[in-house]
Structure 1
Amino acid sequence: MSMRILRAGLAGLAIILVALSEGVAHEIVGNRLFPATLGIDDPGVNDELSIPTVAAFGTGDDPSFRQRDISGEFSKRITETFAVSLGVTHSHLGTPGGPTGMGADGFQNLETTFKYRLFKDPVHEFVMSVGLNIEWGRTGAQRIGAEPFNTTTPTLYFGKGFGDLPDTLSWIRPVAVTGQIGYAVPGRNSTATFGVDPDSGNPIVDTEFHPHVLNWGGTVQYSMPYLKSAVIDLGLPDFINRFIPLVEATMRTPVANTLTSGSVTTGTINPGFLWIGKGFQIGVEALIPINRQSGTNVGVIGQLHFYLDDLDPHGIGRPMFGSTASPATPLARN
């Protein structure tokens, strides 16, 4: 999953809509609510707004840069099963060892994702979607790493809840897993940089090959709302019953055209939690690099996410074409 920022007045709209909130909704499959996650995209197709998403971490460069991202994403259903999202990220790269605030700033490339829900099984709490993500080259600042060419990533998403386990394993029923796997294809195989050898004065050519990358990851979640509504009510405070502790993994593996990039897998393990409110959720996770190439310190990411299909189901949260299907069960709204 990439992090993105939404421009214009949608932030103010979302804040106004929170006051009108009366429920909790997202991708509901049987008794299961699959929430929006921070590291990878969830398997649902919904009207939603993530703004802001804020992350801070040390990059895997040598020397490492301190990077801060502020991002957002707006997703709109065209039909009940098909949605288009738009997002972009603003990044600040701090100078290694330099004063705070020094470095480079700019927007990453604009991204568009088209997602279609293929299959939904309420009995087994299973959902699968396919998507196509396009990163539009030359829409961001090359000084902070935005590429001058498009990158296209077809992706498969899935989610599975364990509510169909027998009564002897009822305490595991609140567990769910989600995952995604995508294949990123750059629009350019290589980039050549021309220069002059300072010693001989001869022309030189430096060629960077752009790899094809397997983007993959997953989450393991334990839903306190599901525990209360579909397993057992322990009489816990409502504040506790809205938590979903989870661990995410986000990985990138170069698999082709890797002459200059290498083929080392990079990524982070992200333990954290989501808190499901009425029409919105808050998420916070740590970003733990899996190796030196992935980063130099533990970072952090936080997000405020709005469920527009619940905040305004007859307006901005309604599919553009067709009617809205009602949730399979009211349990996930408790």
Structure 2
Amino acid sequence: MSIGLLRAGLPGLAIALAPFGASVAHEVVGNRFFPATLTIDDPGVNDELSFPTVSSFKTGDDPSFRQRDFSGEFSKRITEAFAISIGSTYSHLSPPGGLTGMGANGFQNVETTFKYRIIKDPTHEFVMSVGLSVEWGGTGAQSVGADPFNTYTPTVYFGKGFGDLPDSLFWLRPVAVTGQVGYAIPGRRSTTTFGIDPDSGDLTADTEFHPHVLNWGGSIQYSLPYLRSAVVDLGLPDFINRFIPLVEATFQTPVSNTFTSGTLTTGTINPGFIWAGNKFQVGVEALIPINRQSGTNVGVIAQLHFYLDAIDPRGIGKPIFGNVEQPATPFGRN
């Protein structure tokens, strides 16, 4: 389910293999509510719609371009533990001031993710899923960096809440961490572009190698809904009790076939918050590049995310195969 964000951070890649996640799930494990995070995928398997997700940032190109992305993603459970999601992104690239004829607009490649939850432990608030994401080459515009070949990314996702901490550490019980580790495998080892040397008239060949990339990241969250419902009610207004402050981080490290890309890790640190309702959530985060190759200046990402299993639990929010289950919620019914 990932949709490309920090695409220009890897030397030798027009737009990187390692995409950013537009998140496709929220998950309730025991007392713990894992929200759909914005830049990595969370470990849940549910019926969801992320629309829209919008972001604006400056790429790691030299000169740096302003990239604005508008994306959507739909996730559908086949069974209670298995879901398929599909999504894509429309990108607008604006050149730096003074340059003309270098901008571009178009869709990124369509991406499909197959995801299966393998562990759900309510007592220890632990959940783990495995998945395979396929970026379908040729479904997007090469002018915005969409590759003409498929990329396959097997991924492990996990989440752990700290609600099982002892009473002496009760103030840490609202904390949760999530993470993912994926390995992006391009369907083509290299691409060779032929041309003519303008001085000699000789035929030239330029070969770009497509690296295998380790996509990794995580989040740390402090859940005010959990604080109120499972630790202590501080008497805060209901609007405040729905906030989940968090910091996400997403990184990409080329690990093989790196002859033209190099092995530099790129990525962003993303502080922000999620406000969660019973049927939808809103999230906003800053995008802080970790180095020059990851981008210039601080960007921003925002998302509106719908819980289809809460909106229509007996219709579009119901698994295709399996019984209808009342969707869990960390809040009382309004």
Residue equivalent to 2:74: 74
Residue equivalent to 1:213: 213
Distance 2:143 2:26 in 1: 37
Give the Å deviation of 1:198. 1.5
Corresponding letter in the other structure for 2:288: I
Distance 2:155 2:301 in 1: 23
Residue equivalent to 1:55: 55
Corresponding letter in the other structure for 2:331: R
Query: CA contact under 8 A between 1:181 and 1:215: conserved in structure 2?
Result: yes
Q: Unmatched 5+ residue regions in structure 2? A: 5-24
Query: CA contact under 8 A between 2:49 and 2:307: conserved in structure 1?
Result: yes
Residue equivalent to 1:305: 305
Structure 1 residues 100 and 311: alpha-carbon distance in aligned structure 2, compared to 1, 3 A threshold: farther
Residue equivalent to 1:12: none
Pairs aligned (count): 312
Residue equivalent to 1:21: none
Structure 1 residues 127 and 84: alpha-carbon distance in aligned structure 2, compared to 1, 3 A threshold: same
Structure 1 residues 98 and 53: alpha-carbon distance in aligned structure 2, compared to 1, 3 A threshold: farther
The yes-or-no answer on 1:284 pairing with 2:247 is no
Residue equivalent to 1:105: 105
Corresponding letter in the other structure for 2:168: T
Provide, for residues 78-105 of structure 1, a one-character-per-residue CA deviation record: whole Å limited to 9, x for no partner.
0000000000000000012248998210
The yes-or-no answer on 1:182 pairing with 2:182 is yes
Structure 1 residues 56 and 101: alpha-carbon distance in aligned structure 2, compared to 1, 3 A threshold: farther
Structure 1 residues 185 and 237: alpha-carbon distance in aligned structure 2, compared to 1, 3 A threshold: same
Residue equivalent to 2:127: 127
Query: CA contact under 8 A between 1:66 and 1:94: conserved in structure 2?
Result: yes
Distance 1:52 1:102 in 2: 27
TM-score for both structures, normalised by structure 2: 0.91
Query: CA contact under 8 A between 2:313 and 2:325: conserved in structure 1?
Result: no
Provide, for residues 108-128 of structure 1, a one-character-per-residue CA deviation record: whole Å limited to 9, x for no partner.
000000000000000000000
SS of the residue aligned with 1:278? coil
Query: CA contact under 8 A between 2:2 and 2:133: conserved in structure 1?
Result: no
SS of the residue aligned with 1:169? helix
Corresponding letter in the other structure for 1:205: A
Q: Unmatched 5+ residue regions in structure 1? A: 5-24
Residue equivalent to 1:242: 242
Query: CA contact under 8 A between 1:90 and 1:107: conserved in structure 2?
Result: yes
The yes-or-no answer on 1:195 pairing with 2:167 is no
Corresponding letter in the other structure for 1:133: S
Q: Which protein, 1 or 2, shows the higher relative CO under an 8 Å CA cutoff with sep ≥ 6?
A: 1
Residue equivalent to 2:15: none
Aligned CA-pair RMSD = 1.7
Residue equivalent to 2:12: none
SS of the residue aligned with 1:333? coil
Give the Å deviation of 1:199. 1.6
Distance 2:55 2:189 in 1: 30
Residue equivalent to 2:90: 90
Residue equivalent to 1:147: 147
Corresponding letter in the other structure for 2:81: T
Query: CA contact under 8 A between 1:70 and 1:91: conserved in structure 2?
Result: yes
Distance 1:195 1:75 in 2: 43
